[in-house]
Chain A
Amino acid sequence: MIGGLFIYNHKGEVLISRVYRDDIGRNAVDAFRVNVIHARQQVRSPVTNIARTSFFHVKRSNIWLAAVTKQNVNAAMVFEFLYKMCDVMAAYFGKISEENIKSNFVLIYELLDEILDFGYPQNSETGALKTFITQQGIKSQHQTKEEQSQITSQVTGQIGWRREGIKYRRNELFLDVLESVNLLMSPQGQVLSAHVSGRVVMKSYLSGMPECKFGMNDKIVIEKQGKGTADETSKSGKQSIAIDDCTFHQCVRLSKFDSERSISFIPPDGEFELMRYRTTKDIILPFRVIPLVREVGRTKLEVKVVIKSNFKPSLLAQKIEVRIPTPLNTSGVQVICMKGKAKYKASENAIVWKIKRMAGMKESQISAEIELLPTNDKKKWARPPISMNFEVPFAPSGLKVRYLKVFEPKLNYSDHDVIKWVRYIGRSGIYETRC
């Protein structure tokens, strides 16, 4: 299991050091600094073995988090734990920065004592932790016995993510379907790979211990239901989507999903990520990029890029940005664009073209002349792909929320009393066209 956990600043100075196992010596903390943080080369692996000691690290801005072990630990678990650790810290004090870590070091030690015991991760749900790790030690002295046992049963219980007795005057929930659409297209316009990775984020402000059931236009479910009426199948068949795979927050009953493909759960209070999913079939690609790069002699490049929006004309895409990479030996760039603003950014080696808004089924174009300095560098320019950013108000995968039902048998509010909001946002993930 995890033998110790260290946090360093960008210089390699230790901010937090907690050792859980006797086999981790004091020099381990230095070994990582010398061999990884101060290493001359770029890091070639997130797992480093230094003299039979393994170090796992992740970086958040310029802070290094390293877990160390001498045993054959579950490596996936160690990384998951490090991410979780970051989430917990962020939930307590915001951004993970040197200043924040130094300001909260007592709290961090307290958290580390709680969520890792002898190197075994323990309950690390912020909701639960915040009930008893408060940085106000005195408070715990005034807890009643019931309060204490409520805390412990929540921390260890089956529903470790929600406490009892939550009350809202207005029962309300928000569902955000957030998708990022990823594309890799060849210069000829052939889709090399495309997939949507989506998340359903829920914000729940519900009283008591509500039982929820979530439904979407999952092909498997629709087909199963549609068996009875052939008519409905043909109608809904088009609207349903094939989900390649999905994963759920730990509140969802996985065995039920496996057997009935229904998504039922008791949600944590506040915001959480209900599910993640991935689709690869019938994706709506909101934009198409058509590049044309021509080398004119050794010192000039002509670039023309056309973008086409491919969705309902009534919808508007926002925050559109096209990034056209330029060679390292670029000396000057002239740009003409039909819409928006375009600028050559020498420090980023790219022409950045920004358009605030664009309706569906439209087209826009940019052309640029790039002057190059003559070089005798044998290395060819790698021609990085043209990348794109945007945001559209629909789900490129075609996912639709069909229902979210709420039952709370003990309290007297029904599904109809809950105010529900649903929103779809499609963003570009890695949306690249090779040129």
Chain B
Amino acid sequence: MTDSKYFTTTKKGEIFELKAELNSDKKEKKKEAVKKVIASMTTGKDVSALFPDVVNCMQTDNLELKKLVYLYLMNYAKSQPDMAIMAVNTFVKDCEDPNPLIRALAVRTMGCIRVDKITEYLCEPLRKCLKDEDPYVRKTAAVCVAKLHDINAQLVEDQGFLDTLKDLISDSNPMVVANAVAALSEIAESHPSSNLLDLNPQSINKLLTALNECTEWGQIFILDCLANYTPKDDREAQSICERVTPRLSHANSAVVLSAVKVLMKFMEMLSKDLDYYGTLLKKLAPPLVTLLSAEPELQYVALRNINLIVQKRPEILKHEMKVFFVKYNDPIYVKLEKLDIMIRLASQANIAQVLAELKEYATEVDVDFVRKAVRAIGRCAIKVEQSAERCVSTLLDLIQTKVNYVVQEAIVVIKDIFRKYPNKYESVIATLCENLDSLDEPEARAAMIWIVGEYAERIDNADELLESFLEGFHDESTQVQLQLLTAIVKLFLKKPTETQELVQQVLSLATQDSDNPDLRDRGYIYWRLLSTDPVAAKEVVLAEKPLISEETDLIEPTLLDELICYIGTLASVYHKPPSAFVEGGRGVVHKSLPPRTASSESAESPETAPTGAPPGEQPDVIPAQGDLLGDLLNLDLGPPVSGPPLATSSVQMGAVDLLGGGLDSLIGGTNFVAPPTAAVPANLGAPIGSGLSDLFDLTSGVGTLSGSYVAPKAVWLPAMKAKGLEISGTFTRQVGSISMDLQLTNKALQVMTDFAIQFNRNSFGLAPAAPLQVHAPLSPNQTVEISLPLSTVGSVMKMEPLNNLQVAVKNNIDVFYFSTLYPLHILFVEDGKMDRQMFLATWKDIPNENEAQFQIRDCPLNAEAASSKLQSSNIFTVAKRNVEGQDMLYQSLKLTNGIWVLAELRIQPGNPSCTLSLKCRAPEVSQHVYQAYETILKN
């Protein structure tokens, strides 16, 4: 009899036909029909319409049919809760069946039906089954408690199932014990505080006894549970270790790894002088090596774990280098991991063998693998000094192969070797320079440029080489640009006479034509250094470099210790703490609570998924799309490359040199050897540092904002700095639109025309929504008032402070630059009222570190008044409570970029100061939200 035929029926009207068959009188036909239904269900078709008909088949003597119907029920009960009730009677009846297999089946299935109404009926049968005479039923019931807890935790506690479950730990049957341990461990995870498992020497002893008797899976549950226990002293730790070590000979790799976890953890408590400590270390190596003869997938898990173990206790595997040699047929993921461990184990004793291997690998075909092998040779040179020379010559051999990616990778590592052993291997520079043209990867280009700059005095044509890179300066990546800037400055300091022109060229490229703040900053620093004190410049730029460490890419020690506690689990495979990849909503215990973004609704969407990332760099869990916070956070975490590619980016390109002029004036008056290119007129008369003082003026200005939500206009650009143009202004928000109210005054003696305005990129993407329209020419002493509408769809770049806005205004005379701070409340949107439930959930979900508390002094308002005042600025009161005479206002607001801020405002009648607690996923904004509160409440 073959069942494959059920997969083939795909005609129309199928559901209708099935319905008829399900209601057939013939048993065989019924069973056939149910099979067809299950087959369709598997292939993803929706057969939920058949619910009543399938459930009708449930009362049968045929066990196979019953199981099929149960399978269907588990799948669809949730979508048809009312219909599912129909099944309850059968379940309850089956739980009383004389056949233990049927009793167990019923209790197992009931737990999988996640319908509240059914859950209530489950309690009585479950209670009976937990005390059933048959161990098979008890072990099934034990797991069922965990299922029920997942549906309704409160119910499980109320019904006292947890105590019954605890009793099962002392059950006579090892499998019941194992399942009870598994269920309790899972439940305990969601109650970190409760001492559910209550591990003490007595219960540990019971677990260790069961360990010898239960199935391989049960052993894993028990060992994983043991690993959470902390022995009271080293003697207890040793005695547990002694009883766990036999597990290292188990055929099941998971049992072995879980045993290794327990041993690695408890070993911490043992004194290193103890004989036993040494014995244990010796016992750990063979089983770890044996794991490498398992199937490739398990080898991969084992290797990721060995990587951790080798970092924690290198002595365990120090003699086992050979087993990590790569085999020709190993899958690529195994090869890459082995390579990693080889480097970690490399030492003076085995370096010759390792190098010979690495050289072999460098001729393989897989590009990633070859690159990693080449890089590994460099790391060996840095790690084992005696081998450095051999490594360098190996790398030179590889460069001779002219295989493009090999050459590039080799150059990147040679740079590090130069840093580690200065003035030793410079003879190879000539060979490196021959390959200059073939370098097309930023990292390799940057490395080569660094080498040229560092050894400029020994390379005759260093200036030509660097100049050749300069031609395409703007097309280079940031990494290369920064390196090129530094290299040319080094060159200039070493050979000042011939390279003056070159250094001017690169400084102007970096400061005036670049929109990258890092590059500009670095450019200006060099510029000022060179112009004020060339000797100091030499000391700074050509200073001795700190040594580079021997071990790169080590896992940070606290993380390593945490990961050791997770040996065998996914965390050890990803090399990330569970909080980084486990959804937080289900109350998983976190050993540490880093702020993270929980995105539930789009969690499954494939487009946000990192696909097939190489195991070396496991996918960072990328915040899902639609998580607007990601935008802001990216600015923090990501490299300072250009902002998100928005449609307006071309407009923003125009604002590139916003800062140029302002800072230009900084150095304009100083005695720089040669003035910068004539394109930007030096503002000789301006006092040094004017741009900055401007900024400070405004900072203090913000504190004194007054008026109802709209601050009075403050002077943003004094006339003396802008050739007679004075600009003052303020920001407003009215019915959803933001505008900048400007007042332009002409204090010069000539007429001003051709006004235009642009903003630099800023934290919230503020940009003019329309051009600056000054209709008539502005005659001397005339003032004009303009309201400039703003949008928030401009390019985003995080500013410091967050609400800083850099503005350029142009007229027929010149371009002027100034910066100002905008009050954050202009960004509070109208639909910022959060639903109460949502508020509660979000408040809980945001980690406590993100909470900020502020005092608002001298604000004698009552709750009512405060609430209404805040409401008109789009801060909405979600709920209000009176606790011990204090009024608590729970408020929410939303920023234009979708960031929610939750607030708790505590007002004490009679006390003029109130307390504001803010919670937000982007804690940076809190300070500014507080300022907005203060401004609004006080005016």
Give A contacts to B, CB under 8 Å: 1, 13-17, 19-23, 25, 27-31, 34-36, 39, 41-54, 56-58, 69-77, 79-83, 99, 102-106, 109-110, 113, 117-118, 120-125, 132, 135-138, 140-141, 143, 145, 148-149, 151-153, 155-158, 160, 184, 186, 192-193, 195, 197, 244-250, 253-255, 257-258, 273, 275-276, 278, 378-380, 382-385, 387, 430, 432, 434
- Closest chain-B Cβ to A228's Cβ sits at a distance in Å of 25
A278 to B293 Cα, complex, angstroms: 9
Q: Check if B4 sits within 8 Å of A109, measured CB to CB.
A: no
- Closest chain-A Cβ to B94's Cβ sits at a distance in Å of 13
- Closest chain-A Cβ to B603's Cβ sits at a distance in Å of 5
Give B contacts to A, CB under 8 Å: 2-4, 6-7, 35, 38-39, 42-44, 61-68, 70-71, 75, 98-101, 104, 108, 111-112, 114, 134-137, 139-140, 143-144, 146-147, 150-151, 173-176, 179, 182, 186, 212-217, 220-221, 224, 243, 245-247, 249-254, 256-258, 286-287, 289-290, 293, 295-298, 300-302, 322-323, 325, 327-329, 332-333, 353, 356-357, 360, 363-365, 401-404, 566, 568-574, 578, 581-583, 586, 588, 602-606, 608-615, 618-619, 621, 624
A74-B568 contact, Cβ under 8 Å, with A17-B42, A44-B614, A143-B99? yes
Q: Check if A35 sits within 8 Å of B606, measured CB to CB.
A: yes
- Closest chain-B Cβ to A111's Cβ sits at a distance in Å of 11
A140 to B289 Cα, complex, angstroms: 46
Picked from B114, B289, B363, the residue with its CB within 8 Å of the CB of A380 is: B363
A336 to B210 Cα, complex, angstroms: 64
The 22 listed contacts between A and B (C-beta, < 8 Å) are A1-B186, A22-B114, A31-B609, A45-B300, A49-B618, A51-B608, A75-B301, A77-B254, A80-B216, A105-B4, A105-B38, A109-B68, A109-B71, A125-B215, A137-B63, A152-B134, A156-B176, A245-B286, A248-B250, A257-B246, A258-B249, A278-B290
- Closest chain-B Cβ to A181's Cβ sits at a distance in Å of 13
Q: Check if A434 sits within 8 Å of B360, measured CB to CB.
A: yes
- Closest chain-B Cβ to A280's Cβ sits at a distance in Å of 8
- Closest chain-A Cβ to B586's Cβ sits at a distance in Å of 7
Q: Which residues from B are CB-within-8-Å of A16?
A: 42
Q: Check if B583 sits within 8 Å of A74, measured CB to CB.
A: no
A120 to B63 Cα, complex, angstroms: 23
Q: Which residues from B are CB-within-8-Å of A58?
A: 295, 297
A156-B135 contact, Cβ under 8 Å, with A44-B614, A74-B569? yes
- Scoring B243, B353, B603 by chain A CB atoms within 10 A of each residue's CB, the highest score goes to B603
Q: Check if B253 sits within 8 Å of A76, measured CB to CB.
A: yes
A432 to B325 Cα, complex, angstroms: 13
Q: Check if A75 sits within 8 Å of B572, measured CB to CB.
A: yes
- Closest chain-B Cβ to A112's Cβ sits at a distance in Å of 9
Q: Check if B323 sits within 8 Å of A193, measured CB to CB.
A: yes
Q: Which residues from B are CB-within-8-Å of A248?
A: 249-251
- Closest chain-A Cβ to B503's Cβ sits at a distance in Å of 38
Q: Check if A380 sits within 8 Å of B583, measured CB to CB.
A: no
Picked from B3, B100, B150, the residue with its CB within 8 Å of the CB of A106 is: B3
Which chain B residue lies CB-closest to A159? B213
- Closest chain-B Cβ to A301's Cβ sits at a distance in Å of 16
Q: Check if A117 sits within 8 Å of B100, measured CB to CB.
A: no
Q: Check if B147 sits within 8 Å of A118, measured CB to CB.
A: yes
A80 to B40 Cα, complex, angstroms: 30
Picked from B4, B68, B401, B610, the residue with its CB within 8 Å of the CB of A99 is: B4
Q: Which residues from A are CB-within-8-Å of B588?
A: 71-72
Q: Check if B325 sits within 8 Å of A52, measured CB to CB.
A: no
Q: Which residues from B are CB-within-8-Å of A246?
A: 249, 290
- Closest chain-A Cβ to B10's Cβ sits at a distance in Å of 12
Q: Check if B602 sits within 8 Å of A23, measured CB to CB.
A: no
A80-B252 contact, Cβ under 8 Å, with A53-B604, A255-B212? yes
Q: Which residues from B are CB-within-8-Å of A39?
A: 611-612
Q: Which residues from B are CB-within-8-Å of A56?
A: 297
Picked from A15, A51, A124, A140, the residue with its CB within 8 Å of the CB of B609 is: A51
A49-B101 contact, Cβ under 8 Å, with A141-B63, A278-B289? no
A326 to B536 Cα, complex, angstroms: 63
Q: Check if B67 sits within 8 Å of A113, measured CB to CB.
A: yes
- Closest chain-B Cβ to A348's Cβ sits at a distance in Å of 14
Picked from A106, A145, A152, the residue with its CB within 8 Å of the CB of B38 is: A106
Q: Check if B612 sits within 8 Å of A432, measured CB to CB.
A: no
A249 to B251 Cα, complex, angstroms: 6
Q: Check if B604 sits within 8 Å of A27, measured CB to CB.
A: yes
A69 to B186 Cα, complex, angstroms: 14
Q: Which residues from A are CB-within-8-Å of B612?
A: 35-36, 39, 41-45, 48
Q: Check if A254 sits within 8 Å of B212, measured CB to CB.
A: yes
- Scoring B176, B333, B612 by chain A CB atoms within 10 A of each residue's CB, the highest score goes to B612
Q: Check if B583 sits within 8 Å of A23, measured CB to CB.
A: yes
A153 to B136 Cα, complex, angstroms: 7
Main DSSP-derived SS at the A contact region:
mixed
Smallest CB-CB A-B distances: 9 pairs: A245-B286, A137-B64, A102-B4, A152-B136, A137-B63, A76-B254, A258-B246, A72-B578, A254-B246
Which chain A residue lies CB-closest to B574? A49
A20 to B74 Cα, complex, angstroms: 9
Q: Check if B174 sits within 8 Å of A158, measured CB to CB.
A: yes
A120-B212 contact, Cβ under 8 Å, with A51-B609, A255-B246, A278-B293? no
- Scoring B296, B365, B569 by chain A CB atoms within 10 A of each residue's CB, the highest score goes to B569
Q: Check if B615 sits within 8 Å of A52, measured CB to CB.
A: no
Q: Check if A47 sits within 8 Å of B328, measured CB to CB.
A: no
- Closest chain-B Cβ to A223's Cβ sits at a distance in Å of 17
Q: Which residues from A are CB-within-8-Å of B322?
A: 192-193
Q: Check if A430 sits within 8 Å of B604, measured CB to CB.
A: no
Q: Check if B582 sits within 8 Å of A14, measured CB to CB.
A: no
Which chain A residue lies CB-closest to B571? A72
- Closest chain-B Cβ to A131's Cβ sits at a distance in Å of 11
Q: Which residues from A are CB-within-8-Å of B256?
A: 76, 247
A210 to B858 Cα, complex, angstroms: 89
A74 to B217 Cα, complex, angstroms: 11
Contacts A14-B42, A247-B250, A249-B251 supplied; 9 other A-B pairs, CB < 8 Å: A42-B332, A44-B332, A54-B570, A77-B217, A148-B100, A152-B104, A156-B136, A276-B251, A278-B293
- Closest chain-A Cβ to B677's Cβ sits at a distance in Å of 43
A389 to B789 Cα, complex, angstroms: 80
- Closest chain-A Cβ to B478's Cβ sits at a distance in Å of 27
Q: Check if B43 sits within 8 Å of A13, measured CB to CB.
A: yes
A138-B217 contact, Cβ under 8 Å, with A106-B38, A109-B68? no
Which chain B residue lies CB-closest to A434? B360
Which chain B residue lies CB-closest to A24? B604
- Scoring B98, B249, B605, B624 by chain A CB atoms within 10 A of each residue's CB, the highest score goes to B249
A218 to B4 Cα, complex, angstroms: 51
Q: Check if B217 sits within 8 Å of A104, measured CB to CB.
A: no
Q: Check if A152 sits within 8 Å of B212, measured CB to CB.
A: no
Q: Check if B64 sits within 8 Å of A76, measured CB to CB.
A: no
A76-B302 contact, Cβ under 8 Å, with A45-B615, A151-B101, A156-B176? yes
Q: Which residues from A are CB-within-8-Å of B357?
A: 192
Q: Check if A137 sits within 8 Å of B65, measured CB to CB.
A: yes
Q: Which residues from A are CB-within-8-Å of B214?
A: 158
A148 to B136 Cα, complex, angstroms: 11
A104 to B173 Cα, complex, angstroms: 33
Which chain A residue lies CB-closest to B71? A109
A44 to B372 Cα, complex, angstroms: 15
A48 to B606 Cα, complex, angstroms: 12
Q: Which residues from A are CB-within-8-Å of B173?
A: 156-157
Q: Check if B621 sits within 8 Å of A156, measured CB to CB.
A: no
Q: Check if B606 sits within 8 Å of A120, measured CB to CB.
A: no
A140-B101 contact, Cβ under 8 Å, with A193-B323, A254-B249, A379-B403? yes
Q: Which residues from A are CB-within-8-Å of B610?
A: 49-50
Q: Check if A83 sits within 8 Å of B295, measured CB to CB.
A: yes
- Closest chain-A Cβ to B534's Cβ sits at a distance in Å of 47
Picked from A149, A249, A250, A379, the residue with its CB within 8 Å of the CB of B100 is: A149
Q: Check if A247 sits within 8 Å of B111, measured CB to CB.
A: no
- Scoring A20, A23, A34, A254 by chain B CB atoms within 10 A of each residue's CB, the highest score goes to A254
- Closest chain-A Cβ to B154's Cβ sits at a distance in Å of 17
